[in-house]
Amino acid sequence: MHSVFYSLHEFMLHTESLTYLVMLISLLGFLGFFLFLTDRDDDQPEDTKPGRHGHH
Amino acid sequence: MSTENTAPNSSKLTPFNLIAGLIVIVGLFITVLRFTKGLGAVSNLSNHSPWGIWIGFDLLVGVALAAGGYVTSAAVYVFGMKRYHSAVRPAVLTGFLGYLFVVIALHYDVGRPWRLPYPFIVGWGTTSLLFEVGLCVALYLTVLFLEFTPAPLEWLGLTKTRNLAVKLTMVLTIFGVVLSTLHQSSLGALFLIAPSKLHPLWYSPYLPVFFFVSSIIAGLSMVIFEGSLSHKAFHHKMDATHLQESDGLVLGFGKAAALVLAGYFTIKIVGITAGNHWHLLTSPYGYWFLVELLGFVALPCLLYAMGAREKNLKLIRFTAAWTVAGIVLNRLNVSVIAFNYHLPVAERYFPHWMEIGISVFMVTLLILVYRFIVTRMPILYGHPDYQANH
């Protein structure tokens, strides 16, 4: 899939377009990852709750 | 809590001490050779590869793994996460010793080490990245020393000076974060000058960003990793607060590391896309790049996340060690393995055994000094005379 480019404009158009797509997919993926990471936070045992030192 | 050394085993002839003693003797021998016979006698450095593992490992890895100091101080003092307070002193000590031994190791690597202060006193090379790195490292080493001073001052009973040092904590933390941001990224920027020498999969205009973001991962992982080792070796020195906060620290830092690793993975993918280097992934170097990206970035990211979700401290501690290995691999890839990739094998750099010997010597000295300090000074416990101030 090694594309041939005849001008810097072609190269930039190609790579920037792909970068925007990657960013979009990454943002959605990051949202899913964040939910995966934090969805059990409410079930934390009392002794590992982050706010146990006076943040309540 | 224990303010005195209550180590159960008082014998000095432990296997660790014997091995460390042997390494120190060999290290001193190589040191004499290095400073009497020159670089050529103890290293495989050449005009093609003037930077070997003394830069790739001792400096780049050393600075990255010493990032725990600024990461923990920033979390506690800047972001107000006081629940991690007990981790600050061990992290600052690790950071201080890390930078100290980076500077000591640098004396082996530069041809004329007595000229190291020249950039500051003879000519200010303000357009040079290396000058910026040198200045930042010198200033940050001073900052870390000042951040560390309350512990020895408490140990020595110098209350007034200690109180003055504690008052500087916030300003030192902010200064430390600024300096770290500058030089962690600049270490990556050093390689921007060599686009034809560094393999395209590792070379990227975003190298400074990669180095800075990965230093945060290194710092978080190193605090967990070093904390786990301290737990095993110096459990008897830890006070109740330290032991109580330890699990929360592992979970919190593990979760943070998972998030930063996810971001790092993303920007690495963006780096490949922006350079249009996808086709290189099917080359031998590409497979090696995938080992680093999938095995030491994506995998620990998932393992940290699973560990944080399931409150699996063992998994997080294992992942921290794995991630530290990944940081070592990344820095060696950029500076040694993927550097000069186009040269024939016969001309490629491979470290002399004495270069490896000096690196092992530096790590051993660091561990010995760390042990000397934590068994004497209030690092893993709060000094009883200053409990109200902690």
Question: Each residue of B41-91: pLDDT tens digit?
Answer: 999 999 888 999 999 999 999 999 999 999 999 999 999 999 999 899 999
Tell me, what's the pLDDT at A53? 46
Query: φ and ψ at B16, to 5 degrees?
Result: -60, -45
CA B48 to chain centre: 27
Tokens 């925007």 belong to A20
Angle between helices B159-167 and B169-189 (to 10 degrees): 60
Q: Is residue B320 scored above 80 in pLDDT?
A: yes
Mean local confidence (pLDDT), B22-36: 96
Mean local confidence (pLDDT), B201-219: 95
ipTM (interface pTM):
0.80
Mean local confidence (pLDDT), B328-339: 95
Q: Is residue B328 scored above 90 in pLDDT?
A: yes
3-state secondary structure of B55: helix
Tell me, what's the pLDDT at A54? 40
Mean local confidence (pLDDT), B124-134: 89
- Taking a C-beta distance cutoff of 8 angstroms, is the pair B330, B57 a contact? no
Tell me, what's the pLDDT at A55? 41
Residues of A in contact with B82 (CB under 8 A): 53
Tell me, what's the pLDDT at A41? 77
B247-298 residue pLDDT tens? 899 999 999 999 999 999 999 999 999 999 999 999 999 999 999 999 999 9
pLDDT band at B246 (very low <50, low <70, confident <90, very high): confident
Q: How far apart (Å, rounded) are the C-alpha atoms in residues A17 and A15?
A: 5
- Taking a C-beta distance cutoff of 8 angstroms, is the pair B63, B184 a contact? yes
Asked if the Cβ–Cβ distance from B279 to A2 is below 8 Å, we say yes
Q: Is residue B385 scored above 80 in pLDDT?
A: no
- Taking a C-beta distance cutoff of 8 angstroms, is the pair B143, B172 a contact? yes
Angle at the Cα of B222 from the Cα atoms of B147 and B253, rounded to 5 degrees: 90
- Taking a C-beta distance cutoff of 8 angstroms, is the pair B324, B363 a contact? no
Minimal C-alpha gap between B383 and chain A (Å): 21
Residue in chain A lying closest to B247 (CA) = A48
3-state secondary structure of A46: helix
Positions in chain A whose pLDDT score sits under 70: 1-2, 42-56
pLDDT band at B334 (very low <50, low <70, confident <90, very high): very high
pLDDT band at B359 (very low <50, low <70, confident <90, very high): very high
Asked if the Cβ–Cβ distance from A40 to B278 is below 8 Å, we say no
Asked if the Cβ–Cβ distance from A30 to B266 is below 8 Å, we say yes
Tell me, what's the pLDDT at B5? 45
Mean local confidence (pLDDT), B90-96: 94
Ordered domains of chain B (ranges, CATH): 52-341+362-382 (1.20.1630.10)
Query: φ and ψ at B339, to 5 degrees?
Result: -90, 140
Q: How far apart (Å, rounded) are the C-alpha atoms in residues B57 and B244?
A: 34
Tokens 């760390």 belong to B370
Q: Is residue B2 scored above 50 in pLDDT?
A: no
Residues of A with CB under 8 A from a CB of B: 1-3, 11, 14-16, 18-19, 22-23, 26, 29-30, 33-34, 36-37, 39-40, 44-45, 47-48, 50, 52-53
